[in-house]
Amino acid sequence: MKNVIDLFYDNNLEYNITYIMPKSNVYYIAKNYNWNATYEAVFYQHYTVAKNIFNISDNKDYNRFKSEVFELLRMKYYL
């Protein structure tokens, strides 16, 4: 049985992956693009940076993350 701390950690991790990490990565990509500093990096490199910032070790949400980031880039930054 999980204790309260584990449940809190799991819930917080899911929140960060779902809401915070994509928006943070979109901002990072958009600013690099605006400053001409993207240097032809592949998307997976940006994903890895975001995972490192949020201390996430698995790739299970990569496809969902990628589609959400691309959608936000189109909607918010017109990229």
Q: Which of 21, 43, 20, 19 is nearest to 32 (CA)?
A: 43
pTM: 0.73
Q: What percent of the chain has pLDDT over 90?
A: 16
pLDDT tens profile 8-32: 888 988 898 889 999 988 998 888 8
Distance, CA of 46 to CA of 50 (rounded, Å): 6
Predicted confidence at residue 75, as pLDDT, reads: 93
